């Protein structure tokens, strides 16, 4: 029997973000005794932990119990059946970047299970998947929130929703949406000093853990395109997919098909002169180059790539690996609403997920 006001929490993914989320969930469960938050399922791609009678898993010991578990994760349909049969409401926290799990969101929501997630895949996939997700939520009453899918914990999606839902008119969204690209360009083309060689900056970013294991996964622009797809859709543009608008890749053609990230890094210095040229051209105009994404509502255009900015522009003045997102709207006129700060990291990303969980709890418990 479920306790009064009990909500079951199921977590898929216990990596960098998942572990931080567990820490925040443990504190939330103590701070919010009005709802009994019971962890009933947790898994990685190799292991799972759950009890057939839905008895609680200790949040504090979840990671060690999971690593000691010898149970392989059930199939996704079986997990959905298990959660749908729980004796109280369930929120699924998807802390993976799995496309398979994202594709199952319509099914999960249609079974009355709410979802909170930092996983971009569901919301930046096909427009059909986007439509199916929100149609399933609408008909079952389950909730779905994904604040951390853009700008990690920065309040980007909730801000945009507030602007749209209060009747403001978004005219343009522009920003630096990738911590990796931010770090690379802030050090390659700083507003003061000459900056480093492009290939050396990419190598340094990889050594510092700012890039994906293969830096080409950052330099191809797809991650930024996915975030722009999400914001464009929330602004009212029915973008078909993240490859349906211009996205500039910073991978030299000749290195697109080299076998490994290491070989890519080894050969990248051969192409430094191309990026030097881009930097010098901007310098001649008294500007710096940055990798940005923008959405222009008047022309219904979305694009991702290199742009030049005056040194006094907030995008030029960004530091470290920060993100910046400027919302130009009718109400804000010439003074855009700007959201800026750390756009990556386990704790800040998990904060966005925990805040989403609170949004769901306020509606279902």
Catalytic site positions: 227
Stretch that binds ligand NAP, among 12-20, 82-90, 210-218, 297-305 (CB under 6 A): 12-20
Nearest to 25 by CA among 73, 81, 95: 95
What does residue 173 show for φ and ψ, rounded to 5 degrees? -125, 135
The 3-state secondary structure of 84-105, one letter per residue: HCCCCEEEEEECCCCHHHHHCH
Would you say 320 is a known binding-site residue?
A: no
Would you say 15 is a known binding-site residue?
A: yes
Query: Using CA atoms, how far apart are residues 349 and 326, in angstroms rounded to an integer?
Result: 20
Q: How many residues bind ligand NAP (CB under 6 A)?
A: 27
Query: Using CA atoms, how far apart are residues 103 and 109, in angstroms rounded to an integer?
Result: 11
Would you say 171 is a known binding-site residue?
A: no
Would you say 14 is a known binding-site residue?
A: yes
Cβ proximity to ligand NAP, 144 vs 258, nearer residue: 144
Would you say 96 is a known binding-site residue?
A: yes
- What the block records as the tokens of 285 is 């105009």
Q: Which of residues 106-145 bind ligand NAP (CB under 6 A)?
A: 118-120
Q: Which of residues 90-109 bind ligand NAP (CB under 6 A)?
A: 95-98, 100-101
Residue 33 in contact with residue 4, Cβ under 8 Å? no
Task: Return the residue of 18, 215, 242, 336 that touches ligand NAP, per CB under 6 A.
Answer: 18
Would you say 212 is a known binding-site residue?
A: yes
Torsion over CA of 83, 106, 136 and 360, rounded to 10 degrees?
50
**Rg of the chain over all Cα atoms, to the nearest angstrom:** 22
Query: Using CA atoms, how far apart are residues 273 and 222, in angstroms rounded to an integer?
Result: 24
- What is the number of other CB atoms lying within 10 angstroms of the CB of residue 71? 12
Q: Is 358 exposed, middle or buried (0-12, 13-18, 19+ CB in 10 A)?
A: middle
Q: Which of residues 24-43 bind ligand NAP (CB under 6 A)?
A: 43
Q: How many helices (H) and strands (E) does the chain have?
A: 14, 11
Cβ proximity to ligand NAP, 97 vs 365, nearer residue: 97
Q: Decide: is 16 part of the binding site for ligand NAP (CB under 6 A).
A: yes
Cβ proximity to ligand NAP, 316 vs 348, nearer residue: 348
Smallest separation, CB 327 to ligand NAP (Å) = 20
Task: Return the residue of 22, 142, 152, 302 that touches ligand NAP, per CB under 6 A.
Answer: 152
Q: Decide: is 23 part of the binding site for ligand NAP (CB under 6 A).
A: no
Residues that bind ligand NAP (CB under 6 A): 12-18, 43-46, 73, 95-98, 100-101, 118-120, 148, 152, 344-346, 349
Q: Binding site for L-homoserine: which residues?
A: 212
Q: Binding site: which residues?
A: 13-18, 96, 120, 212
Q: Binding site for NADPH: which residues?
A: 96, 120
């Amino acid at each position: 029997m479920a306790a009064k006001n009990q909500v079951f929490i199921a977590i898929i993914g216990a990596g960098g973000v998942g572990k931080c989320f567990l820490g925040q969930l443990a504190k939330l469960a103590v701070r919010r005794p009005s709802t009994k938050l019971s962890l009933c399922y947790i898994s990685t791609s190799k292991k799972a932990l759950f009890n057939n009678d839905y008895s609680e898993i200790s949040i504090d010991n979840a990671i060690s119990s999971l690593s000691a578990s010898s149970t392989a994760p059930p199939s996704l349909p079986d997990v959905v059946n298990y959660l749908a049969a729980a004796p109280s409401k369930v929120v699924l926290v998807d802390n993976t970047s799995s496309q398979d799990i994202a594709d199952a969101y319509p099914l999960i929501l249609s079974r009355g299970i709410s979802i909170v997630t930092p996983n971009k895949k569901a919301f930046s996939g096909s427009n059909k998947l986007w439509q199916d997700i929100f149609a399933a939520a609408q008909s079952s009453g389950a909730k779905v929130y994904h604040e951390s899918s853009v700008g990690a914990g920065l309040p980007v999606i909730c801000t945009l929703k507030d602007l749209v839902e209060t009747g403001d008119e978004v005219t343009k969204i522009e920003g630096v949406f990738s911590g990796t690209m931010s770090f690379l360009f802030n050090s390659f083309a700083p507003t003061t000093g000459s900056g480093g060689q492009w290939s050396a900056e990419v190598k340094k970013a990889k050594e510092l853990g700012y890039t994906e294991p293969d830096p080409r996964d950052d330099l191809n622009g797809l991650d930024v395109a996915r975030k722009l797809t999400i914001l464009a859709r929330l602004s009212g543009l029915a973008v078909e997919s993240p490859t349906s608008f211009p996205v500039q890749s910073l991978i030299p053609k000749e290195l697109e098909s080299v076998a490994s990230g290491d070989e890519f890094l080894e050969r990248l210095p051969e192409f430094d002169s191309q990026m030097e040229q881009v930097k010098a051209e901007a310098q001649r105009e008294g500007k710096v180059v940055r990798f940005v994404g923008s959405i222009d509502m008047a022309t219904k255009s979305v694009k991702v790539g290199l742009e030049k900015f005056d040194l006094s522009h907030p995008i030029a003045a960004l530091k470290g690996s920060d993100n910046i997102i400027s919302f130009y709207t009718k109400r804000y006129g010439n003074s855009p609403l700007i959201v800026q700060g750390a756009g990556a990291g386990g704790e800040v990303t998990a904060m966005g997920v925990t805040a989403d969980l609170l949004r769901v709890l306020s509606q279902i418990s």
